[in-house]
Amino acid sequence: MPQSNSAAPPYVLTSESPVPAPRYHDPAPTPEPRRKPRGAFASYRRLFATPGARAFTAGNLIARLPMGMFSVSAVIMIAGAYGSYALAGAVTATGLAATALVAPFTARLVDRYGQARVAVPATVVAVLGSVALLLCVHHHAPAWTLFAAYAATATTPNTGGMSRARWAHLHRDDPAAVHTANAFEQAADELCFMLGPVLAAFLCAALFPEAGTLIGAILLLSGVLVFAAQRATEPPVPPRTGRARTPLRTPGMPALLAVFLSTGAVFGSMEVVTLAYVDGPVAGALLALQAAGSCAAGLAYGSVAAPGGGVRRRLLGCLAAMTALMSLPLLAAAGSGSLLALAGALLLAGMATAPTMVTGMTLVQRLTPAAQLNEGMTLVVTALLGGIAVGSATGGWTVEHTGAGSGYAVPVAAAAVALVVAAATGTGAGTAKARLP
């Protein structure tokens, strides 16, 4: 058989040549659509599949854990060195008040100049304040130096707010993902404030009295450095268009802050009343159980798609549930008085707080302009801190004058006030530029 010329076409048609069947390339297989993860927490797996999410979350959690350590560490350290719980309480209260005043301004700088540019130097100042407090206590310096040193820690940035701002930026077109992210952040808050005091007490007892403050400062600085290094997920700084007004002047925000103030009173009074009612080491375990219930409920709430009905209606429902569930510890204390019954009541009561906070934070993101999101969420934290202080004082007064059992009426009343304020003021209603459903 003669060989064909290599330059010849593959087929030469003649009258005797059969017409070859045309060649067709098999089409490339159509890729199957990527299946969304299924399961109870599939929404969280999708959330952390976002590029860079795991890195900034890891740094944020490291930085947030000391938030539950510093107060306990300071009380143990100061009371041990000076023999006065009154002094220790006054110093920590001063730091709380200073934080309430300074934090909104720090957040405003974050919104104006960016998270990394402000958070790192602000954290350095706060860490220096913690180290100064440690040295003053160690060398038994005059009492006034303790107040000055602890007040310097007020520049600590709101790492939880910055993390929520990143989620809101990354998923600005996906309200369901923002809902899940807010639930995760609230659960992280509960977890850090549950583990922080335990870790602080252990370090101060196992190592030396200043260990809790020292290690807390190291964790704070390390976590913020890791968090700030993740520049790819940092929200861009919006262009400055004149002098921006404070979020306090945003319609609906003052009423929402009043709701958070009352919600903080629930937290503060519940803690003081439980400590007085149990009056022993078991009280810490019961409070941790309440926080665990809130953490679990927050994760479960975020694992489902954002419920329908609008954010405002959901907030009213959550506040109503919180008011009802907060009555359970009161009933347990007034009934059998069993610590086991109280433990179950606190677990159930805690399950109402995280969904309320998640929905409230979603409403803050709806009301606050994107360029002021950090300041808006920090104002919420300030309202919560103020409410905690009021609730602690009111709960303590009630316990002293009417008994520990009846003190559980204070968180019920505070939750009811939050519900009435939200319902009477139409919290969050009528916002023209809503970004979330």
Instruction: From 283, 282, 291, 271, select the one nearest 399 (Cα to Cα).
Output: 271
pLDDT grade, residue 68 (50/70/90)?
Answer: confident
- The DSSP line for 283-303 is HHHHHHHHHHHHHHHHHHHHH
Say if residues 359 and 419 touch (Cβ distance below 8 Å). Answer: no
pLDDT grade, residue 304 (50/70/90)?
Answer: low
pLDDT exceeds cutoff 60 at 28: no
Residue predicted with more confidence, 250 or 218: 218
HSE-CB for 426 with a 13 A CA cutoff: 4
pLDDT exceeds cutoff 60 at 265: yes
Q: What is the DSSP letter of 277?
A: H
Look up residue 224 and give its two tokens. 């913020």
pLDDT grade, residue 17 (50/70/90)?
Answer: very low
Residue predicted with more confidence, 247 or 28: 247
pLDDT at res. 221: 93
Instruction: From 174, 173, 179, 429, select the one nearest 312 (Cα to Cα).
Output: 429
Domain boundaries, the chain: 52-235, 246-437
pLDDT in tens, 90-137: 787 788 778 878 888 888 888 788 888 888 999 999 999 999 999 998
Question: What dihedral angle (degrees, nearest 10) is formed by the CA atoms of 57, 257, 316, 426?
Answer: -130
* Contacts with 330 (C-beta within 8 Å, 6 or more apart), sequence order: 405, 406, 408, 409, 412
pLDDT in tens, 128-168: 999 999 999 888 889 889 889 888 888 888 888 888 888 88
How far apart are the C-alpha atoms of 344 and 366, rounded to whole Å? Answer: 35
Q: Is the pTM value of this prediction over 0.85?
A: no
pLDDT grade, residue 219 (50/70/90)?
Answer: very high
Only one residue has tokens 């023999």, namely: 83
pLDDT at res. 8: 41
* Contacts with 157 (C-beta within 8 Å, 6 or more apart), sequence order: 106, 107, 110, 118, 119, 122, 123, 224
Residue predicted with more confidence, 79 or 19: 79
Say if residues 222 and 394 touch (Cβ distance below 8 Å). Answer: no
pLDDT at res. 123: 92
Alpha helices in 114-174 (DSSP H): 115-138, 143-151, 159-170
pLDDT at res. 42: 74
pLDDT in tens, 310-352: 778 888 888 999 999 999 999 988 877 778 888 888 889 888 8
Q: Is 394 exposed, middle or buried (0-12, 13-18, 19+ CB in 10 A)?
A: buried
Taking residues 17-29, report their average pLDDT: 46
**Which CATH code fits 52-235?**
1.20.1250.20
pLDDT grade, residue 305 (50/70/90)?
Answer: low
HSE-CB for 15 with a 13 A CA cutoff: 0
Residue predicted with more confidence, 175 or 245: 175
Say if residues 165 and 34 touch (Cβ distance below 8 Å). Answer: no
Topology of the domain comprising 246-437? Growth Hormone; Chain: A; (1.20.1250)
pLDDT at res. 245: 65
DSSP SS3 for 355: helix
Percent of the chain with pLDDT over 90: 11
Backbone dihedral angles phi then psi of residue 413, each to the nearest 5 degrees = -65, -40
Only one residue has tokens 């069993």, namely: 338
How far apart are the C-alpha atoms of 86 and 361, rounded to whole Å? Answer: 35
HSE-CB for 270 with a 13 A CA cutoff: 35
CA triplet 17, 22, 28: central angle to 5 degrees?
A: 160
pLDDT in tens, 31-52: 444 444 454 567 778 878 888 8
Percent of the chain with pLDDT over 70: 83
Backbone dihedral angles phi then psi of residue 163, each to the nearest 5 degrees = -65, -45
Question: Which of 100-104, 308-312, 411-415, 420-424 has the largest mean confidence?
Answer: 411-415
Q: What is the DSSP letter of 372?
A: G
How far apart are the C-alpha atoms of 435 and 365, rounded to whole Å? Answer: 8
pLDDT grade, residue 27 (50/70/90)?
Answer: very low
pLDDT grade, residue 222 (50/70/90)?
Answer: very high
How far apart are the C-alpha atoms of 373 and 363, rounded to whole Å? Answer: 12
pLDDT grade, residue 82 (50/70/90)?
Answer: confident
pLDDT in tens, 355-369: 888 888 888 877 877
Residue predicted with more confidence, 34 or 257: 257
DSSP SS3 for 299: helix
pLDDT exceeds cutoff 90 at 179: no
CATH topology identical between 52-235 and 246-437: yes
Q: Give the end-to-end CA distance of the chain in Å, rounded to a whole number.
A: 78
Only one residue has tokens 């007892």, namely: 205
pLDDT in tens, 186-209: 788 878 877 777 788 788 888 888
* Contacts with 307 (C-beta within 8 Å, 6 or more apart), sequence order: 314
Say if residues 322 and 378 touch (Cβ distance below 8 Å). Answer: no
pLDDT at res. 241: 59
pLDDT at res. 436: 38
How far apart are the C-alpha atoms of 410 and 414, rounded to whole Å? Answer: 6
Look up residue 31 and give its two tokens. 């890729």
